[in-house]
Structure 1
Amino acid sequence: MKYKSRVFIFLMLIMAVMAFTGSSLSAQTILKMNHQFPAAASGSKLDQWFADEIKRATNNEIEIRIFWSNALGSPKKNLVLLSSGIIDMAAMSPGYFPLELPFFSASNSIPMGMDNICQASVIMQSFMKHIPQFADEAEANNIRPLFFHLINPYLLVTKKPVTKFSDLKGLRIRVWGEYMPEMVKAANGKPMNIFLPDLYETMKRGVLDACPFSLDLVKTYKIYETAKHITEVVLWEGTGWGIWISEKSWAKLSPEHQKIFADTADKVWAKDMAITAEAEVEARKFLKYQGVEFHEFPPEELAKWQAANPDFFENWIKKMESMEKGEPARQTVELWKDLRQIVKCPNITDNN
């Protein structure tokens, strides 16, 4: 009897040790992140690295659980979910919220405003450093941006070849935000506001004729199965989705953990450009293997499109003036234009 009692006590001690060890190894704080992209996207892999690095650097005290492909809510709901603290973090494109985030959304939605990912990186980081309105805007929505992803240039993906301005007439083209529709209308096309999760099906069913998309995202979303032509014209370039955290969740972090978040975000900024550029090179090769045809869009044809477009910068400034934010808007555009002239990018695209 004494033997059985000793065995029982011994087993209880083992279970207690295991329970204690297990609790010490598990994350004390779990932050839920809603992500608008699938896990296979190149930027998504970097977001997973960010989450893994946070867990490692905090000795498992903070765990970020990523819910891919809008598992916690549609892209349009991200801001209200985040600002209210219902979710802790979000991988969210500010261009979906031009009224609430007009400064952040500008570089995420104004077409033909940048030329390459090098400009996108420098311009956004300069905005956040030199234009106080960006911080004010985030604070007003109870959110905090940690970093922004670069997205490769959005070229024109179509079901039939497009090589001149007149080819765009009547095409149903996917758009987002306030300004992309105006660019499509200027080309006599028909803008269609379609969210990313619906892009493949709408292309497959013939609801859309074309969409601006980066080569790596054409690969990720398998758009090449529905459209076999890509025109080499940069319709949009800028910063893509940001990784945001609610102020409510940020305030719960210790100063030490906040520093780890900030330092890890800086590492992502440093890693993102090379990863993004490599993704485009690999995607171009893959798409050619899949039978996708690439077409030139001559400079004179691009000039026709640009001439038909409204002045997107001036229109944005006028909108900001109506919100009594005209001066910081003009400062933003001046900085934007200056950096676009200064920042050049090496030819990183393999056209062979």
Structure 2
Amino acid sequence: MNYTKLFRSTGLALATVLGLTVSGQAEVYKWITFKPQGAGDAQAVTTQWLVDEFAKRTGGKHEIEVFWGGSVAKTREIPDALAAGVGDFGDIITPYFPDAMPMNNAVGFFIPQPMGTLEVGQFLEKLHETYPQFKDELASQNLYAFGFRPLESYGLLCTKPVNTVKDLEGLRIRSYGFAYPKLIEALGATPVSIATSEAYEALQRSIIDCTPIGPALARGWKYDEVAKYYIDIPLGASFGHLLAMNLDSYNGMDDETKAIVDQLGKDYLVEYARVLDEDRARVGELWKGDLGVEVIEFPQDELLAVIDDAGIQAVRQEWIDKANAAGLPADEIVSNLKF
């Protein structure tokens, strides 16, 4: 189904039926999200924090109503739904849209990379402030990014212990996105494409031996019930989500409200990183206790030794070529993504 056509042709009608905001003059803006309200993780908790802060900082003049759990648009429908005006705010899982958002997927081409959650978010903020190509890419789709939600720093959660790169040889590791398939191959393992929702069963049934993930997400998906070894291999934080707005909704705001939204995006990143750190620490204590997950330090030098692999470099060069074609100083940008 062509969701772009569907949303653009029915967006106004659907917005009217649901009572959704289609004008920046409205007092109540609508946030459409795939996150369940009761998820209790850092993403859901800080989304509510942002909504509460928006009402507080506008002195109650404006509010945001959240439509949780894909009730208005599913995960892969959100960009088109936002663009069509079905909602005003939403969170977009950026790696799901590599063709529509190649510049904004920069970090996904560079794994491993040395930055953590907060650093990746600040890196994306700087890119948007410095190079118009990043905003223009989204503006062409009637979208505006006012904030960023990177994922946590990743390691590998495995069903067997892994102490060195030799232990990875022949293992089957869940793979997705741009860089992971080639990195997994360079480490001597076999990449297996499996959806996040299917990874629990895949680990349980030994279809895969490991999956890239961070502790907080591993607990959230309960993968740590069936995989008891967390390999602390320094993959860096993956870039996850854009906090986005319908561009028309943003442009329709008065200057004061725009400034509040933009500052909230920056403050959100700091709050989200703080809550995520607390969540990781909590999970670490659970792992030491009844969950019984063993954390194994992986030698960083063994990981870095494979970065020059031809496959890994080809993936990185793919983004560099796209960035150069867009008129960006690619070498300057990617210097932040290298050890």
**TM-based fold match above 0.5:** yes
Q: Residue 244 of structure 2: SS of its match in structure 1?
A: strand
1:32 match: secondary structure: strand
Equivalent residue number for residue 298 of structure 2: 297
Q: Which structure: larger Rg?
A: 1
Q: Does the CA contact (< 8 Å) of 1:250 and 1:258 recur in 2?
A: yes
C-alpha distance in 2 between matches for 1:165 and 1:112: 15
User: Aligned pair in 2 of structure 1 residues 184, 76: CA closer, same or farther (>3 Å)?
Assistant: farther
Size of the aligned set, in residue pairs, is 310
TM-score for both structures, normalised by structure 2:
0.80
What is the CA-CA distance between 1:118 and the residue it aligns to? 4.5
Counterpart position of 1:217: 217
Alignment counterpart, residue 316 of structure 1, candidates 314, 319, 328:
319
Structure-to-structure mapping, 1:34-183, within 5 angstroms: 34-36=33-35, 39-183=39-183
Q: Residue type of the partner of 1:99?
A: D
**In 2, Cα distance between the equivalents of 1:300 and 1:270?**
30
* Distance in 2, Cα, partners of 1:61 & 1:191: 51
| Aligned partner (choices 321, 332, 335) of residue 337 of structure 1 | 335
The offset of 1:143, in angstroms, is: 0.5
| Distance change (3 Å), C-alpha of 1:185 and 1:319 | farther
- Cα distance in 1 for residues equivalent to 2:267 and 2:301: 41
Deviation at 1:299, TM superposition (A): 3.5
Between 234-243 and 143-152, report the one with greater CA deviation.
234-243
The one-character-per-residue Cα deviations of 1:114-138 (angstroms, maximum 9, x if unpaired) are 2423432332222112122111111
* TM-score of the aligned structures, taking structure 1 as reference length: 0.78
Which of 184-193 and 290-299 deviates more?
A: 184-193
Fraction of identical pairs, as percent: 24
In structure 2, the CA distance between the partners of 1:249 and 1:195, relative to structure 1 (3 Å rule), is: farther
Q: CA RMSD in A?
A: 2.7
> Secondary structure, in 3 states, of the residue corresponding to 1:49?
helix
Instruction: Kindly provide the CA deviation profile for residues 123-165 of structure 1, in whole angstroms up to 9, marking residues without a partner as x.
Output: 2222112122111111111111111124321101111112222
Q: 1:338: Cα distance to partner? A: 4.7
Note if contact 2:46-2:268 (Cα within 8 Å) is conserved in structure 1: yes
Question: In the aligned structure 1, how far is the partner of 2:45 from the partner of 2:248?
Answer: 26
2:182–2:312: 8 Å Cα contact kept in structure 1? yes
Q: Is 1:231–1:295's contact at 8 Å kept on the other side of the alignment? A: yes
Specify every segment of 5 or more residues in structure 1 that has no aligned partner in the other structure, as ranges. 1-26, 342-352
The answer to whether the Cα contact below 8 Å between 1:219 and 1:287 also exists between their aligned partners in 2 is no
Residue number in structure 2 paired with 1:3: none
| Partners of 2:109 and 2:179 within 8 A in 1 | yes
Q: Counterpart of 2:30 in 1: which secondary structure?
A: strand
* CA displacement 1:271-309 (0-9 Å, x = unmatched): 233333332222212222210011122244324433435
Partner letter of residue 227 of structure 2? Answer: A
